[in-house]
Amino acid sequence: MISNFEIGIDLGTANILVYSKNKGIALNEPSVVAIDTVTNNIVAVGTEAKEMIGKTPEKMIVIRPLKGGVIADFNITTEMLKHMMRKASKKGGFTLRKPNVIVSIPSGSTSVERRAIQDAVQNAGAKKIQLIEEPVAAAIGAGLPVDEPVANVVVDIGGGNTEVAIISFGGVVACHSIKIGGDRLDDEIISYVRKQYNILIGERTAENIKMEIGYALVDHEELLMDVRGRDLVTGLPKTISLSSYEIRDAMKESLLQILEAIRATLEDCPAELSGDIVDRGVILTGGGSLMKGMEEWLSHEIFVPVQLADSPLESVAIGTGRALPFMNKLLPTMK
C-alpha cells in the first residue's frame, strides 16, 4: 500500500495532469510528442508539440501515444512521461528519485492495458504505483462523498473515452465505458466539413470549432464562425462560414451514444440508490463536459439534475491526489 504517495497522474488521451501533494496541479499539458523520424529523437513534448500539429516538415511527425485512454505506443509514452515528470518536479516540489505514484486508468481497460500503464509509469521512474479507476478519481476530485452509502453518479467525458459510473460505499456499483470523447467529435467535424464543403481542415481547427460553436443542445441561439481550410478541388486555401446548427448535426451520433451510456448505467442502478440519484443528480467532469449546453441537454434527456464539477478538467488529477484515504476500499494494491 502506498502510505505516502508523492504524485498523482491523470494519464489522459488529450492531456496529462500531474498532481503534487505539495503544490496541487503541478503540470497540465497535452499528451502529444513530436519526433524526428531520421534520428528517432523526441523534439518536443506537451504544449510545444501540440503547436506543431499539421505544421511539421517531412522528417518530423507529431503523434499522440495514448488512444482511448490506453497506451498505443509504449516506448514513446514512457519517454513522454519522463519529460512530463521532470517538468512537473520543478514546479511541484517533489523529488524525481523514485516517487510513489497514483495513476488513473479507464474503468473499461483490460488487465493487459493496465499492466502496460503500470510498466510505462515504472519505467519513467516511479517506485511504487497504485491504480485508480478514472470515474472514482473524478468523483473524489469533484468533492463527492464516495465512501458514504449514497449514489454518486459521475460522467467523465475525456478526449478518448467517456466513463459513466455510479459509486457508493467506496466502490463502483454500475459502470459503462465507451470509446467516444472529444477526439471523436473533432473527427466528425473534420469529416462533415470535408463532405459538405470539400474543404480539408486540421485537428486543431476542428477542436477550435467544437470549443467556439459546438453545442449539445438542439435548440439554441445560432452561432457562426469563419473557418479556413484547403479546397480539395482547387488545392487552394479557402474560407467558409459554419453554423453551430451544422456542428450539432455533425456531432449528433456521438452525443447520442454518450447519452445511451448514461441511460444504460442508470438502468443498472439498484432500486435503493435510485432515489439518491433523483435528489443528488449527476456530476459532469472532463473536457467534453465543457461543451455549450451539455448540462441542459443531459438534464432534459435523463430527467435528473445535471451539474458541472468545480474543476472539470482537473477533477481526475485532483482525485488521484486526494484518493489516499479511500485506497483500502477502492482497489487492491498494485506493486
Which residue numbers belong to the known binding site for ATP? 13-15, 207-210, 287-290
* Nearest-angstrom CA–CA distance, 174 and 152: 11
Q: Name the strands in the sheet holding 306-308, side by side, starting at the edge strand that comes first in the sequence.
A: 171-178, 162-168, 152-157, 282-285, 306-308
- Residue of 68, 274, 292 whose CA lies nearest to 168: 274
Which residues are within 8 A (CB) of 204 and not within 5 positions of it... i.e. 6 or more apart? 50, 53, 54
In this structure, the dihedral spanned by the alpha carbons of residues 128, 48, 66 and 89, taken in order and rounded to 10 degrees, is 10
Beta bridge partner(s), residue 166: 153, 174
3-state helix, strand, coil in the chain (%, to 5): 40, 25, 35
Q: Name the strands in the sheet holding 199-200, side by side, starting at the edge strand that comes first in the sequence.
A: 199-200, 224-231, 237-243
Q: Which residues are known binding-site members?
A: 13-15, 207-210, 287-290
By the 8 A CB rule, do 9 and 16 touch?
yes
* Nearest-angstrom CA–CA distance, 129 and 135: 18
By the 8 A CB rule, do 308 and 142 touch?
no
CB atoms within 10 A of CB 67: 16
Strands 129-133, 101-105: parallel, antiparallel or unpaired by DSSP? parallel
Which pairs count as long-range contacts for 48-54, CB under 8 Å and 24+ apart, including other chains? Answer: 50/204, 53/202, 53/203, 53/204, 54/202, 54/203, 54/204
Q: Is 216 exposed, middle or buried (0-12, 13-18, 19+ CB in 10 A)?
A: buried
